[in-house]
Chain A
């Protein structure tokens, strides 16, 4: 239990330490990150679809 609490507090500390991105958010950077988000979102949807179709077959 104590270890779990320590772990959670460590995660919080890391989240605080890296709360603000240090890279300058130029238009290029923002655009790249937005495209990356869409790409990953579509990929996750495909994986979920595959998972559901596999479950249905089983």
Chain B
């Protein structure tokens, strides 16, 4: 065989793999990029403003953390063909099932409120009133969801994921010093020593990387897409690429705020966008557009995570491949969750700060349970067969889960008792 034939054969093989990936890609990319939701953008903006490039190395460590947790949902979904809520009910009984479902409903709704807060704040920078933003978002999400096809929904969601990359050109526009990024950011260091402020920010970064809704969303998404055991390899690749993109976006946000707003007090991403506008109008606008997109992506995924979970347990038809007539309760629960959460930021004097704190606290009650269930389910050899966790996977995932549980618990407790760690 001559060299051209070998090259042609290899090219065909690679092209076939790429085409297969493009068919299967979706759940992992969407969940990971949606992980950079409005709350996440605020955390990264604050990280950059407070510590410059110094914590970039820590963000890089979050790639394996996010990947190892989320890839387990791919395997579980593809093998059992059940969502996470149904898997918990079936394997651990009604008590743990209801606990998870009700907790998920509360966490999702509260998180949705924070997404709407982020979206309204982002568009207010362009002079769009909050009520109009809420109406536009609900209408837009209606159009996306009601098309009756999972495939179409996923491609539109991927389009919004692409918009999330807006922070990359923004980071290049601020002309950061590459030498400083490498010197300060890539060598592990704790700026100013290990203190409570730094600890709180590290916990916040981990808290935004793994959220309870992500586990429920990705597993249900894998099931709705119809991924099978043979698709697990590509599903894992999808999740891995997604985890790299989500951390890359986070790093670019840190670079933007670390370059232009280093030392400035940042409470939320909208404030950062306003401050950036004074320095460079386009960068500020990019920040605001990115924040809106992040909130929208988060809202799309979170409201679906709840509706899928309810559908699984109550036995309603619960697929994006169904029309409204075929799955009325699925769509009704989707819009009720969405509309009620959207109304909250419009209420004058609504306790939005309290809601943000409450999200962190309630999430701490659900996340450890959902993660423990995940590992136990992945060790159920009777169900998982050859896709059960190996010893190495168990060691890595257990270490990650224990770390997440400890840090997210401390994060939740510090939200409850702010003076405890001072």
Contact = CB atoms under 8 A, between A and B. Distances in A.
Interface of A: 10, 14-15, 18-24, 28-29, 32-33, 36, 39-40, 43-44, 46-47, 50
Contacts of A40: 365, 369
B255 to A, nearest CB: 37
B194 interface: no
A50 B97 CA distance: 27
Interface in B367-422: 368-369, 372, 376-377, 379-380, 382, 409, 412-413, 416-417
B314 interface: yes
B380 A23 contact: yes
B380 A18 contact: no
Given A18-B90, A33-B92, A43-B365, A50 B314 contact: no
A32 B94 contact: no
Given A23-B377, A29-B376, 17 more contacts: A15-B94, A18-B90, A18-B93, A18-B97, A19-B93, A20-B93, A21-B91, A21-B92, A21-B93, A23-B376, A36-B372, A39-B368, A40-B369, A43-B409, A46-B413, A46-B416, A47-B361
Contacts of A19: 93-94
Q: At the interface, is chain B mostly helix, strand, loop or mixed?
A: helix
B52 to A, nearest CB: 34
Contacts of B377: 23
A33 B92 CA distance: 9
Q: At the interface, is chain A mostly helix, strand, loop or mixed?
A: helix
B94 A18 contact: yes
Contacts of B97: 18
B58 interface: no
A43 B415 CA distance: 13
Contacts of A33: 92, 96
B201 interface: no
A10 B316 CA distance: 11
Given A14-B94, A18-B90, A21-B91, A36 B314 contact: no
